[in-house]
Amino acid sequence: MSEKLEQIKNIGIVGAGTMGAGIAQVAARAGFTVILHDLREELVEHAKHTINNSLRLELEKERISESEHKKILKRITTAVDLQTLLRADLVIEAISENLAKKMEIFSNLDSMLKPEVILASNTSSISITKLAAATARPDRVIGMHFMNPVPIMKLVELIRGISTSDVTFKTVKKLSEDFGKVAIEVNDAPGFVSNRILMPMINEAIFTVYEGLATIQSVDEIMKLGMRHPMGPLQLADFIGLDVCLAIMNVLYEGFNDPKYRPCPLLKKYVDAGWLGCKSGKGFYQY
Ligand code: NAD
């Protein structure tokens, strides 16, 4: 492969949930054309609605003009047919945190897209090396881990799989910067750096409630007032999604084979009950 960086204009996004919608907004705002794919029409419609509302807030704060608002929305096409992504120069996968589902998507994308297309994953914890092994282009697979809410958070954690090439890395680093983000390079291990540190802290906060040490509100207040965290760990868990938190803890637990990463039984129970945090209306708090 030559050292020339890939030219990226059209970005495909697979998964139009919390993260996919945010990534689509940021990419379109930076001037890229976006094709946003999900399994059903109502899911992509909901994503468009979310993006429109988020941009409307930017308009109210006079960060974008009326005409920019319209232009940004125009750059986003939604699609329920995966084949629509054939036009993409780079695809960002943002489907649910599930290894088997992600492996299947990577294999499907690999077989249908031109060989030079870069495949990035927004996974919070799953091995990039494993996802790359589902394709015949492991040098063009990379982790592009955005933070939630994507339009606000500055960081993109860039994860190199064992075969990720320098050209792929540099292309995606430049793309992240074009999105207005700061990209930080890490290597591939369960949870990478961000969730290796954050998720055990959230899990431990859940244990303190499970063991009756303090109330939900007290745990969050302690971390906010005592440690200057802008949001308590339990409120943050609700915001991230308790199913996402549990999936990440399981990846850490199984990946390191170390009991220190065992997910708290209370977290499992909440997810079993369908209490997933903000997105389901109930988690540690009511929404
Ligand atoms: P979400 O549940 O809000 O959205 C996932 C979307 O993927 C859903 O709309 C679902 O219909 C779609 N989907 C599932 N399988 C699909 C398939 N085979 N093809 C197409 N679409 C499919 O989840 P999310 O919070 O947006 O998380 C998405 C990814 O981003 C996960 O890997 C998660 O770990 C990661 N992530 C999440 C956060 C967060 O705070 N929520 C932060 C960083 C990274």
Tens digits of per-residue pLDDT, 46-58?
999 999 999 999 9
From the list 163, 170, 95, 108, the residue with the least C-alpha distance to 132 is: 163
Q: Copy the structure tokens of residue 63.
A: 């960060």
> 246 CA distance to ligand 1 centroid (A)?
14
How many domains does the structure of the chain reveal? 2
16 touches ligand 1 (CB under 6 Å): yes
CATH of the domain at 87: 3.40.50.720
Q: What is the pLDDT of residue 146?
A: 98
How far, in Å, CA of 128 to CA of 221, rounded? 36
Q: How far is CA 203 from CA 1, 213, 261, 284, in A?
A: 43, 14, 8, 13
Boundary (domain end) residue, out of 157, 187, 217: 187
- Do the domain assignments include residue 286? no
Q: Provide CB contacts within 8 A for 100, sequence distance 6+.
A: none
CATH of the domain at 222: 1.10.1040.10
Q: What is the pLDDT of residue 193?
A: 97
Please compute the mean of the pLDDT values over residues 224-249 and round it to a whole number. 97
User: Binning pLDDT at 50, 70 and 90, where does residue 237 land?
Assistant: very high
In this structure, the answer to whether residues 39 and 177 fall within a common structural domain is yes
250 touches ligand 1 (CB under 6 Å): no
Decide if 115 contacts 135 (C-beta within 8 A). Answer: no
In this structure, the answer to whether residues 182 and 249 fall within a common structural domain is no
- Do the domain assignments include residue 98? yes
- Do the domain assignments include residue 284? no
Boundary (domain end) residue, out of 187, 221, 248: 187
In this structure, the answer to whether residues 87 and 181 fall within a common structural domain is yes
How far, in Å, CA of 150 to CA of 138, rounded? 26
pLDDT of 73 above 90? yes
In this structure, the answer to whether residues 85 and 164 fall within a common structural domain is yes
Residue with the bigger pLDDT between 279 and 162: it is 162
Q: Give the dihedral sign, CA 143/154/12/168.
A: negative
pLDDT above 90 covers a percentage of the chain that reads 97
> 16 CA distance to ligand 1 centroid (A)?
7
pLDDT of 6 above 90? no
In this structure, the answer to whether residues 30 and 110 fall within a common structural domain is yes
Hey, which bits of 18-96 come out as E strands? 33-37, 76-79, 90-93
Q: What is the dihedral of CA 205, 210, 211, 217, to 10 degrees?
A: 60
Please report the atom of ligand 1 found closest to the CA of residue 148: 40
Please report the atom of ligand 1 found closest to the CA of residue 104: 18
Q: What is the pLDDT of residue 224?
A: 98
Q: How far is CA 164 from CA 28, 37, 142, 209, in A?
A: 26, 25, 6, 41
3-class secondary structure, 76: strand
User: Binning pLDDT at 50, 70 and 90, where does residue 241 land?
Assistant: very high
- Burial (CB count within 10 angstroms: exposed 0-12, middle 13-18, buried 19+), residue 272: exposed
39 touches ligand 1 (CB under 6 Å): yes
- Do the domain assignments include residue 40? yes
Give me the phi and psi of 179, to 5 degrees please: -75, -5
Q: Which of 4-18, 117-131, 219-233 has the lowest mean pLDDT?
A: 4-18
Please report the atom of ligand 1 found closest to the CA of residue 124: 34
Q: What is the pLDDT of residue 5?
A: 80
Instruction: Tell me which of 39, 78, 95 to substitute to probe ligand 1's pocket, judged by most ligand atoms within 8 Å of the beta carbon.
Output: 95
Boundary (domain end) residue, out of 140, 169, 187: 187
In this structure, the answer to whether residues 106 and 175 fall within a common structural domain is yes
Instruction: Tell me which of 14, 18, 106 to substitute to probe ligand 1's pocket, judged by most ligand atoms within 8 Å of the beta carbon.
Output: 18
131 touches ligand 1 (CB under 6 Å): no
pTM beyond 0.85: yes
> 25 CA distance to ligand 1 centroid (A)?
15
In this structure, the answer to whether residues 238 and 274 fall within a common structural domain is yes
Q: Considering only CA atoms, which residue is closest to atom 36 of ligand 1?
A: 124
| Residue 259 C-beta-side C-alpha neighbours within 13 Å | 0
In this structure, the answer to whether residues 23 and 158 fall within a common structural domain is yes
- Do the domain assignments include residue 287? no
17 touches ligand 1 (CB under 6 Å): yes
Q: What is the pLDDT of residue 3?
A: 63
How far, in Å, CA of 244 to CA of 270, rounded? 12
How far, in Å, CA of 267 to CA of 275, rounded? 9
> 17 CA distance to ligand 1 centroid (A)?
5
- Do the domain assignments include residue 285? no
Please compute the mean of the pLDDT values over residues 12-26 and round it to a whole number. 97
In this structure, the answer to whether residues 260 and 210 fall within a common structural domain is yes
96 touches ligand 1 (CB under 6 Å): yes
- Catalytic residue list: 124, 145, 157, 195
Note down the domain range covering 261: 196-279
> 165 CA distance to ligand 1 centroid (A)?
26
In this structure, the answer to whether residues 173 and 205 fall within a common structural domain is no
How far, in Å, CA of 26 to CA of 181, rounded? 10
User: Binning pLDDT at 50, 70 and 90, where does residue 1 land?
Assistant: very low
- Cα first-last separation, the chain: 50
How far, in Å, CA of 58 to CA of 165, rounded? 37
Q: Considering only CA atoms, which residue is closest to atom 15 of ligand 1?
A: 95
**79-89 burial, b if ≥16 CB within 10 A, otherwise e?**
beebeebeebb
108 touches ligand 1 (CB under 6 Å): no
CB atoms within 10 A of CB 64: 18
Mean pLDDT of the chain: 96
